Copies of this chain bind each other. A is one copy, B any other.
């Protein structure tokens, strides 16, 4: 899947992704980078709203997993089961979410479970980083893949 395809998919399937103003900077097995403008996502203090930050970090993880399953030829639905977010510093500029893949052994285990059981869980992390690379928010979630019927 190419970045523009993912953007169009997200905005068509998840209307709030369009309201967030999601853009897909990069998308590969090595990771995902999404951006969203501060203006659409600001709060009463002019910094980024916690719900928007959470949404963009969820979408980065979701996109990575969906794309990784597709690269392996698996047609799966992906849903979120748990989410833990730490808001470390206010986000005063545009939102930039980066998802780095889990450990390779964890990914292989997940792909085997999808084949054997039709369902698998994977813990995936993403972060909001500023232009200097400083981490402003940290997210980790459990995502579940179900083979699509």
Contacts and interface: CB of A to CB of B under 8 A. Distances in A.
Interface string A35-78: 00001111111000111101110110000000000000000010
Contact of A87 (B20, B55, B80): B80
Interface residues of A, number: 35
A84 interface: yes
Contacts of A82: 84-87
Contacts of A56: 51
A15 B40 contact: yes
A90 interface: yes
Copy count, this protein chain: 2
Most chain B Cβ neighbours within 10 Å, of A15, A51, A52, A55: A51
Contacts of A85: 82-84
Given A16-B49, A16-B51, A51-B54, 4 more contacts: A13-B44, A14-B49, A55-B55, A82-B87
Interface of A: 9, 13-17, 19-20, 39-45, 49-52, 54-56, 58-59, 77, 79-87, 90
13 contacts: A13-B43, A14-B42, A14-B44, A16-B52, A44-B77, A45-B77, A51-B56, A51-B58, A52-B55, A54-B54, A55-B55, A82-B87, A84-B84
